[in-house]
Amino acid sequence: MTAAPKLELRGLRKDFGGFTAVDSIDLEIEAGDTVALLGPSGCGKSTTLNMIVGLEEPTSGDILVDGRSVVGVPPQDRNIGLVFQDYAVFTHMSVRKNLSFGLEIRRRPRAEIGRAVDEVAELVGLSEVLDESPRVLSSSQLQRVGIGRTLIMKPSLLLLDEPLSNLETELRTAMRQQLRQLQLEYGQTLIYVTHDQIEAISLANKIAVMSMGAIRQFDSADRTYGQPAHTFVASFLGSPPMNLMEGELRREGRALCFANGSAAIALPQEVLPHGVEEGRDLVLGIRPESLQVAAGEAAMLEARVTLVEPMGPEKIATLRIGNWELKGLFAAGTRLVEGEFLSLTAQATQICLFDGASGVRLNPLRPEEPAWA
Ligand code: ATP
């Protein structure tokens, strides 16, 4: 295989008429990285992939593979493979023929094609069914034919657009593991589009979280989860997602609190980023599992428990403080009584402050650390 490339998107933009589907994104993907483009339907993931592969021309900006622009280069000359979600396998041809088709069109020598088919079939686990018709294959095998057909062309960059979205839950998990294995063996730069956070976290070493044509954060799974750079990232990752509360800072004597009407959370001084003044509209974020039951002085907030939902080893509590509604995730043994008040705290490092207008994070990002530390 050719060496894995570094991919750079510089100010990449795509307008459809007056609508901006991809809004001047910048992204640097290192050679050998596995990157998930994660975001809700319509955020511009497929349009981004289509520009990289050459199916759409950018309105402006540049795409560089190993420092060289590929804008204007025809798709077949970019050496970039794309696997679609509907794996469009030719059902009238055997699996072998499906795999060899691309090389035959390129008039490669027969012996070379035979070797390549065997090698790729082994890699994607199809050696046993090479002479079968795709009609008798399972959906996971069909998906692997789709991937194998792309891999055989030895692309230096492999793009996968929701490759597992047509598979049932159990198969998705199995295919996820196979894709991970494939990536480890194949070792190429891989970009994977998904709207499923579990898929993104389990496959990628970096995640680009997209919304409304913009990349809100490009970071490791741990950091996008533990230190979201934008309220969109905070609310898109996690189940239940991060609690986000609108309010402002108030200072009473030396004490600092985050408040909205009668609702207030006492804040440790170290949560406050430089230059954030009182009275500015802010959003405070705390993950449900970061809330801990606390007594007396240690408590940061008092909330009324409105609902308790047992979830096996854990329970989810719905909590109310003034107009804020929060979710808390507690161990099953925690005493939680609907209607009662609960004193809670959270570690300063697990509290995020965002600008109320733009949603952008105000606390500086800390160096890499696991979210569960
Ligand atoms: P999905 O997961 O649903 O595929 P996505 O994140 O991949 O979503 P895109 O398919 O890139 O999103 O679409 C981004 C936006 O651009 C959408 O609002 C879509 O309607 C619009 N769009 C995409 N292609 C075109 C086109 N050819 N003409 C006009 N609008 C388009």
In a domain, 283, yes or no: yes
Binding site membership of 43 for ligand 1 (Cβ less than 6 Å): yes
Q: Is the pLDDT of residue 60 over 50?
A: yes
Task: Please check whether residues 98 and 182 belong to one and the same domain.
Answer: yes
At residue 2, the pLDDT reads 52
In a domain, 366, yes or no: no
Task: Count structural domains, the chain.
Answer: 2
Q: Whose CA is nearest to atom 28 of ligand 1?
A: 16
Tokens of 154: 């030895």
At residue 296, the pLDDT reads 78
Task: Please check whether residues 223 and 268 belong to one and the same domain.
Answer: no
Task: Please check whether residues 200 and 274 belong to one and the same domain.
Answer: no
In a domain, 368, yes or no: no
Confidence tier at 230 by pLDDT (50, 70, 90): very high
Confidence tier at 89 by pLDDT (50, 70, 90): confident
In a domain, 365, yes or no: no
Range of the domain at 267: 241-355
For residue 162, which atom of ligand 1 is closest to its CA? 2
Confidence tier at 4 by pLDDT (50, 70, 90): low
Q: Whose CA is nearest to atom 5 of ligand 1?
A: 42
In a domain, 25, yes or no: yes
For residue 16, which atom of ligand 1 is closest to its CA? 29
Residue range 97-126: mean pLDDT, rounded:
90
Binding site membership of 209 for ligand 1 (Cβ less than 6 Å): no
Tell me the per-residue pLDDT of 236-267, one tens digit each, with 9 for 90 and over.
999 899 999 999 999 887 788 999 998 999 99
CATH number at residue 132: 3.40.50.300
Tell me the per-residue pLDDT of 258-293, one tens digit each, with 9 for 90 and over.
999 989 999 988 888 888 888 889 999 999 999 999
For residue 14, which atom of ligand 1 is closest to its CA? 16
Task: Please check whether residues 213 and 251 belong to one and the same domain.
Answer: no
Confidence tier at 307 by pLDDT (50, 70, 90): very high
CATH number at residue 333: 2.40.50.140
CA distances to 94, 110, 131, 310, 360 from 136, rounded to whole Å, are 10, 27, 11, 44, 51
> Which residues touch 289 (CB under 8 Å, ≥6 apart)?
329
In a domain, 2, yes or no: no
Task: Please check whether residues 306 and 171 belong to one and the same domain.
Answer: no
Residue range 107-136: mean pLDDT, rounded:
91
What is the SS3 string spanning 317-369?
EEEEECCEEEEEEEECCCCCCCCCEEEEECCHHHEEEEECCCCEECCCCCCCC
Task: Please check whether residues 50 and 190 belong to one and the same domain.
Answer: yes
Task: Please check whether residues 334 and 284 belong to one and the same domain.
Answer: yes
Q: Whose CA is nearest to atom 2 of ligand 1?
A: 41
Q: Which of 368, 58, 23, 11 is nearest to 219 (CA)?
A: 368
